[in-house]
Structure 1
Amino acid sequence: MRQASLLDRWIGHADQALRVALGPPPHDTQPSPAADIADAEMDETERRHAGGLMRINHTGEVCAQALYAGQAATARSDRVRREMADAAREEEDHLAWCAERLDELGDRPSYLNPLWYAGSFTIGAVAGLAGDRWSLGFVEATERQVESHLDDHLDTLPAPDQRSRAIVARMKEDEARHADMAVEHGARTLPGPVQGLMAATAGLMKLITYRV
């Protein structure tokens, strides 16, 4: 079988970007954690708030796909490249679950997902160029921050919205496992200012995505 060339791989990355940012949601490989939970009545304010939070989570999964793709594109070892690809496949389930829940809430993904994808892919590629241990450190820092923001969502989702809560709780477990995986494989701890910049950027993205 012919080995994929650099051009082949970049065409593949472009195809993935279009599918993730603009295409229909992927098919999940595992059933949604909300599958057996009945939807509850919510007033319009609660439904809009839940939709805004799940839009943030959906965009977060779009960014996760882009980050892992960027890091895989520039990873220096096949092992790290495979680990990034495996993590990205699991994040596809999260993307599918969030898209399904948005539809149930009568809401939509962010209009800015192509922009978020492009920026995240670039950041991931730069992290990969810094070396595999720094790239894994970026994974750990990112997943720890995502885990924290999912905790915040569990605190602020409307009480009746148990379907969204089940999805967010499962995502939180998976993100923590991805962070632990990065540490086990030699992640280097990112400097405090870098983590602070990451948190500030994520905060701005969440503020915009809640509404747009």
Structure 2
Amino acid sequence: MSVLFDRLINSFDAGLRVIAGVAVAGRANPALAIQEATMSEEERRHSAALMRINHVGEVCAQALYQSQGQFARGPALSAQFAHAAREEEDHLAWSAERIEQLGSHTSMLNPVWFAGAYLLGMAAARAGDARSLGFVVETERQVEAHLDHHLDTLPVSDLRTRAIVTQMRDDEIAHGAAAQAMGASQVPAPIRVAMGVMSKVMTRTAYYI
């Protein structure tokens, strides 16, 4: 019981840091050397809204990987989740920085997103390592689709945002492939559908709030 309590306390502390926006990137921002584009106000709002969605996704990723890593049954899997979480923290920092540059704000519902994702990750871990990995594969597949859509709809001139989103997509593909290689089992179809529905609710809400 004390071990579980300690894990929850650590997760609460980590969650506060994520929600407070104190993430520090370990890698250089992919947009660092790219000059800011001239965009209309509407284009800036759209880019910022898409990056707010991506930031929410990274808040959720931190919660998922923390809970899945803490409740994983094998040390190798815990280490893999920790590695993925570090790369996702880069995404979190890059997204927050880009949102600020575009003159907007992160989602006001971040505490809700983090708490919900943490519970989902804990449930996935409790289902066993293979199912937990399968949850990662399906999550990353859906995230990749969202990022591809963002690349299609971002203003053509917004090369800074494009560079960040492209690197994020490449990392997500790698995380999904790593989970697959570690023995992921396929997520049942009803759960995949439910994940897709929840993802749409989250993205549509985060676009505005």
TM-score range, shorter chain: over 0.9
The aligned runs of 1:10-21 (5 Å cut-off) are 10-21=8-19
Instruction: Tell whether 2:52 aligns with 1:58.
Output: no
Map 1:7-86; keep pairs closer than 5 Å.
7-21=5-19, 23-86=20-83
Of all paired residues, the percent bearing the same amino acid is 50
CA distance in structure 2 between the aligned counterparts of 1:62 and 1:107, rounded to whole angstroms? 17
The structure 1 residue matched to 2:159, chosen from 154, 159, 162, is 162
CA RMSD of aligned residues (A): 1.1
Residues 1:87 and 2:107 are matched in the alignment: no
**Structure 1 stretch 66-75 or stretch 56-65: which is displaced more?**
66-75
Residue in 1 that maps onto 2:148: 151
Structure 1 gaps of 5+ residues are: none
Q: Which amino acid aligns with 1:11?
A: I
Residue 118 of structure 2, aligned match among 115, 118, 121: 121
Instruction: Report how far residue 192 of structure 1 moved.
Output: 1.4
- Contact 1:71-1:128 within 8 A present in 2 as well: yes
Cα distance, 1:11 vs. partner? 1.5
1:134–1:190 contact (8 Å) kept in structure 2: yes
Shift of 1:5: 4.1
User: How many aligned positions are there?
Assistant: 208
Q: Secondary structure at the match of 1:110?
A: coil
Q: Aligned residue for 1:186? A: 183
Aligned-partner Cα distance in 1 for 2:175–2:69: 15
Amino acid in the other structure paired with 2:7: R
TM-score by length of 1: 0.96
Counterparts of 2:21 and 2:197, CA distance in 1 = 30
Amino acid at match of 2:155: P
Distance 1:209 1:24 in 2: 16
TM-score with structure 2 setting the length: 0.97
Judge conservation of contact 1:25–1:95 (CA < 8 Å) in 2. Answer: no
SS where residue 210 of structure 1 aligns?
Answer: helix
Kindly provide the amino acid, as one letter, of the partner of residue 15 in structure 1: D
Q: What is the alpha-carbon distance in structure 2 between the residues aligned to residue 92 and residue 33 of structure 1?
A: 14
8 A contact 1:25–1:99 mirrored in 2: no
Letter of the structure 2 residue corresponding to residue 158 of structure 1: P
- Name the amino acid aligned to 2:153: T
Quote the Cα distance in structure 1 between the aligned partners of 2:6 and 2:124.
22
Structure 1 residue 207 and structure 2 residue 204: aligned?
yes
Distance 1:75 1:27 in 2: 25
